[in-house]
Structure 1
Amino acid sequence: MPVRLKSFIGTILLVLLVIVYAVVATIVAVAQLAESGPLVHLAYFFLTGLLWVLPAMLIVKWMLKPPRSKAG
Structure 2
Amino acid sequence: MSMRVRKLIGTVVMLVFIITYALFAMAVAEGRITEAPKLVQTVAYVVLGLIWIVPMMPLVRWMAKPDKPHSYER
Q: Secondary structure at the match of 1:66?
A: coil
Q: Secondary structure at the match of 2:34?
A: coil
Q: Is the 8 A contact 2:10 2:63 kept in 1?
A: yes
Q: Deviations over 1:7-61 (max 9, x none)?
A: 1011111112211111101101212213112211110011111111111111101
Structure 2 unmatched runs, 5+: none
Structure 1 unmatched runs, 5+: none
% identical aligned pairs: 34
Across the aligned residues of Structure 1 and Structure 2, the Cα RMSD in angstroms comes to: 1.7
**Structure with larger Rg:** 2
Whole-angstrom distance in 2 between the partners of 1:49 and 1:34: 16
Q: TM-score, normalised by structure 1?
A: 0.81
Aligned length: 71
Q: CA deviation at 1:66?
A: 2.9
Q: TM-score, normalised by structure 2?
A: 0.79
